[in-house]
Amino acid sequence: MTSFLRSWLSGAPEQTAPTLTLSAPEITTISPPDSDDDGEATERENNDEPPAFPALHSAQRANPGIPKILSDTQLMPPPPAPGLAVRQPGVASSSSLLVPLTTTKAPVKPSKKRDKVALAPGHSPLDWAKLKSSGEDLRGVDTLRRIPPSVLKTHNKRDDAWSAFNGKVYNITPYLAFHPGGERELMRVAGRDGTKLFALTHAWVNVEFMLDTCLVGFLIPEPSS
């Protein structure tokens, strides 16, 4: 049996591994077709000059009605130099860019300047605010009254001064020493309606807040007899 296997193995054909053969790819060169371009287009592309607009041989250029391009000087000529040497005040000049004068007169100066006076120590606006909040009686009356002008004009003394502002009557006696314009100026409205003079002098002041603790009553028309 052993001899038979040996003879069978020796007579069997030998098996060999297959061999792969790799061939190099073939490179095909394709040439572009012949062109009639002699390089003129390339030369035009390298030219930095802008193209003509409209085109040189276009229908727009052939039309004679198209306007020509104007320069900056032709579009807006510079203004003429102003004749300052011959300019007269109050007379408009066609060659000048300045605004003509409206008048040749000097402005009118105010007739009187309102000055503040030096107040005594302890009579500043802050001191007046402290006096108002102290609880001291600044009215001088028990209840609010209806006051006609005939009664108002009797209170025109420094120790008894009443004045009306915007229809309300106030006892301005305790405020005389605190008035920034001085006692003399405030006494001008003592015993009468001072609304108009107050508005002309310092309309920005809130008189109702400043004299609220001095309110005596309301001004009414004189009763008919």
Q: What gap in Å lies between CA 66 and CA 60, rounded to an integer?
A: 7
pLDDT tens-place string over residues 172-189: 999 999 998 889 999 999
Q: What residues contact 8, with CB distance under 8 A and at least 6 apart?
A: none
Which residue reads 């002699």 in tokens? 38
How confident is the model over 192-202, as a mean pLDDT? 91
3-state secondary structure of 118: coil
Q: What gap in Å lies between CA 122 and CA 178, rounded to an integer?
A: 9
pLDDT tens-place string over residues 74-111: 667 777 776 655 666 656 555 556 655 665 666 677 66
Q: What gap in Å lies between CA 126 and CA 73, rounded to an integer?
A: 69
- For the record, the structure tokens of 197 come out as 């003079």
Residue 5 confidence (pLDDT) above 90: no
Long-range contacts made by residues 218-222, C-beta under 8 angstroms, separation at least 24? 218/144, 218/145, 218/146, 218/147, 218/167, 218/168, 218/169, 219/147, 219/148, 219/149, 219/152, 219/164, 219/167, 219/168, 219/169, 219/193, 220/146, 220/147, 220/148, 221/148, 222/148, 222/149, 222/150
User: What pLDDT, on the 0 to 100 scale, is given for residue 224?
Assistant: 83
CB 107 within 8 A of CB 161: no
Residue 171: HSE in the Cβ half-sphere, 13 Å Cα cutoff: 18
